[in-house]
Structure 1
Amino acid sequence: MRIGVDAMGGDFAPEAVVLGAIEAQKQFSDVRLVLIGDKVRIEEILNREGADVASFDIVHTDQVIEMGEHPVKAFSSKPQSSIAIGFKLLMDGKIQGFASAGSTGGMMVGAMYTIKQIDGVIRPTIASPIPVSLDKKAILLDVGLNPDCKPEVLVQYAMLGSVYAKYVLGIDNPHVGLLNIGEEEEKGSILTQTTHQLLKETKNINFIGNIEGNDVFTGKADVIVTDGFTGNVLLKAAESFYELLHKQGIKNDFFEGFNFENVGGTPVLGVNGVVIIGHGISNAKAIKNMIKQAIDCAKGGIVEHIRENLE
């Protein structure tokens, strides 16, 4: 298995990316990492750290899509950028997953321009694993890509999340909950009421009904479905508690699950390839876990299983 890593993506690239890749290579010796970026700088860091350069594949690029650039224009005008080359390798089957802490917009444009969405997927989504106990996670989706959704889209999110929960998190027959302001069917907006009825009629989803905000981190649902606006607010509110505890010097193992360094990155579900987007301020630890996320999704065959469910 070969996993592509954007060595030029993120605020601290290529230093943090290469350091993270070195740690990931130690942990996942059965996976070949393909570092995409400035070959001279990448090799300088590998040599300085005493890493075996021959243990990595390096694809040289001399262009970078910067965070502030217009994603569509940048992707079109920079065909030799690390993101563009990464997606070309993914599209050609030369790597089985692509991860970057660079431009989120560039990554989404790259996915839609190259590997494209899976046939039958209305809208791809970005999802986030969240802790529900010290040793268990659930998947929350969407967390920001699609702030406005139709009921049919949310039903697909339930399927996409169920596939991720089963084949990446290892949860058999995952419970799906629809985030709402009450457990009763008639509660909520027109969107949640209509989605509730559709989910009840969908046979290949283990729908347990509405869940409320106070149910999210209890493990009641393994897949939590909502629109990108609500999901993003919920996720960032939860992450803020980790930050508050961290600033006070309080170590809490549960809230460490919201530390972006430990999460690594968010998967883009519904596209024809494993795509992981990391945080722009990712350090070496975050990069290592971003790569781990890509490896887990690729080994779980998540794209193939989504296609099977759609068929």
Structure 2
Amino acid sequence: MQSDNIVKTVAKIFNDIADTLETGQYGEKIRVGITTLGSEHGISNVVKGAELAQKINSSIEVVLIGPKVETELTQVIVENEEEGYKKMEEMLDNKEISSCVTMHYSFPIGVSTVGRVITPGKGKEMFIATTTGTSSSNRAEAMVKNGIYGIISAKAMGIKNPTVGILNVDGARQVERIFKELISNGYDINLTESTRADGGCVMRGNDLLAGTPDVMVTDTLTGNILMKVFSSYTTGGSYEALGYGYGPGIGEDYNRLVLIISRASGSPVIANAISYAADLVKGKVFEIAKNEFENANKANLKELLKSLNKESVKKEENKFVKMPEKEVVTGTIDGIDIMELDDAVSVLWENQIYAESGMGCTGPIVMVNERNLKEAINVLAKAGYNVKKAEDC
């Protein structure tokens, strides 16, 4: 009998050591909660995903928050969704769980979620920043913050110097300009190059499919759509079968680790989301967030973001500018965001250079007469636009 007890004690010690290597906490598992109510595929779908997550990763203890079900998992019984959210918050704040996965949550303004997908082109993982929540009411400011949130999530997942690309949507050029100013001020953002021949850190659809950057920066609504497409393009849309869900809510000084899944998420995605939550805990996501925000703020982040809001006010106050005499325009200038296109044309008109706006094969362009091309580029550059001569398609 005594020898049996010794064997059990030794076995427990070795199990605890194994857990310690994975969790950093001796004799403890990472407790990840999940609310079970609200799924379009029923509670059993959520429970199946939770059981799969715990089976695959022995360092995780999954805690179900919902009605009582038949399972060996730990359960906290609640009767409805509202009660479930309150219990989830209470358990997070009391450190009874380290993180929680849920199907809906109202984050405060300034917090949004970083999704994680597997891209179909090369089977590469990619973070989509962001997918739910609102980082800011100003579109470009929100996307700048989204990029930082994506970097935080990628670093917490063990990518020391994640590559960053900006999806070619409204505001992309403004975001590129702010990122480059942050870099020049000492904050390290590892901007990557598009796989397309003309390169640049503004990403195209090809880059989405190939997973060119580790972190793809976009606005939240576009990110949400991308998550749904990447998660369910093999199933017709009603069942999300791929990826890790919509991810953790990240924001400056925000310290509840809540990860979002969809009501359409299937059990494989739910299992992956729970694993994602546990890995963020192991990766000390809040410590990384604190460090990243400190470094970004040292690089003048807040003032740069204020400048975006000043630009919005300036656009509203723009005075009428008389158009110069019209002439043939065959010289093209790109690198200007579509939201700034009309203002760029006005700047050139003010400098007595006739210009028109247009759309080239790589995005918005300003068109001028060939003889004025060099002068126009210099005028726009001096006015703060991130411009370069458009190359042939």
More divergent stretch after superposition (231-240 vs 206-215): 231-240
Distance 1:59 1:292 in 2: 20
Deviations 1:38-60 (A, max 9, x none): 2xx32xx12xxxxxx3xx43222
- TM-aligned CA deviation for residue 222 of structure 1: 1.4
Deviations 1:123-180 (A, max 9, x none): 2112222334545211112234349643333222111111212222x33311111112
- TM-aligned CA deviation for residue 302 of structure 1: 1.5
Instruction: Indicate the SS of the match to 2:96.
Output: coil
CA contact (8 A) 1:264 1:290 kept: yes
Higher relative contact order (CA 8 A, sep 6+): 1
Instruction: Indicate the SS of the match to 2:128.
Output: strand
- TM-aligned CA deviation for residue 96 of structure 1: 0.5
Distance 1:236 1:287 in 2: 14
CA contact (8 A) 2:227 2:246 kept: no
Counterpart position of 1:217: 209
User: What is the count of residue pairs matched by the alignment?
Assistant: 248
- TM-aligned CA deviation for residue 199 of structure 1: 0.4
Structure 2 spans left out of the alignment, 5+ residues = 1-29, 193-200, 295-393
Distance 1:124 1:161 in 2: 12
Instruction: Indicate the SS of the match to 2:241.
Output: helix
Aligned CA-pair RMSD: 2.7
Q: Which of 95, 117, 121 does residue 130 from structure 1 map onto?
A: 117
Counterpart position of 2:85: 83
Q: Which of 161, 166, 179 does residue 167 from structure 2 map onto?
A: 179
Counterpart position of 2:131: 143
Listed as ranges, the matches of 1:149-168 within 5 Å are 149-168=138-157
CA contact (8 A) 1:264 1:279 kept: no
Counterpart position of 1:286: 269
> CA separation of 1:61/1:285 partners in 2, compared to 1, >3 Å: closer, same or farther?
same
Distance 2:228 2:242 in 1: 15
- TM-aligned CA deviation for residue 238 of structure 1: 4.9
Counterpart position of 1:205: 189
> CA separation of 1:211/1:148 partners in 2, compared to 1, >3 Å: closer, same or farther?
farther
> CA separation of 1:176/1:88 partners in 2, compared to 1, >3 Å: closer, same or farther?
same
Instruction: Indicate the SS of the match to 1:261.
Output: coil
Counterpart position of 1:69: none
* TM-score with structure 2 setting the length: 0.57
Distance 1:237 1:31 in 2: 29
- TM-aligned CA deviation for residue 239 of structure 1: 5.3
Structure 1 spans left out of the alignment, 5+ residues = 47-52, 66-77, 113-121, 182-188, 248-258
Counterpart position of 2:222: 230
Whether 2:3 is the aligned partner of 1:3: answer no
- TM-aligned CA deviation for residue 237 of structure 1: 4.8
Listed as ranges, the matches of 1:1-311 within 5 Å are 1-38=30-67, 41-42=68-69, 45-46=70-71, 53=72, 56-62=73-79, 64-65=80-81, 78=82, 81-101=83-103, 104=104, 107-108=105-106, 111-112=107-108, 123-132=110-119, 134-146=122-134, 149-168=138-157, 170-180=158-168, 189=170, 191-202=171-182, 203-208=187-192, 209-238=201-230, 241-243=233-235, 260-267=240-247, 268-270=249-251, 271-311=254-294
Identity %: 27
> CA separation of 1:17/1:144 partners in 2, compared to 1, >3 Å: closer, same or farther?
closer
CA contact (8 A) 1:158 1:205 kept: no
Distance 1:135 1:238 in 2: 11
* TM-score with structure 1 setting the length: 0.70
Counterpart position of 2:307: none
> CA separation of 1:265/1:134 partners in 2, compared to 1, >3 Å: closer, same or farther?
same
1:98 aligned partner, one-letter code: C
1:292 aligned partner, one-letter code: S
CA contact (8 A) 1:11 1:281 kept: yes
- TM-aligned CA deviation for residue 85 of structure 1: 0.3
Higher CA-based Rg = 2
- TM-aligned CA deviation for residue 33 of structure 1: 1.8
> CA separation of 1:290/1:215 partners in 2, compared to 1, >3 Å: closer, same or farther?
closer
Instruction: Indicate the SS of the match to 1:94.
Output: coil
Distance 1:205 1:299 in 2: 23
CA contact (8 A) 1:149 1:227 kept: no
Deviations 1:58-102 (A, max 9, x none): 22222x13xxxxxxxxxxxx4xx112101111122111000123x
Instruction: Indicate the SS of the match to 1:216.
Output: helix
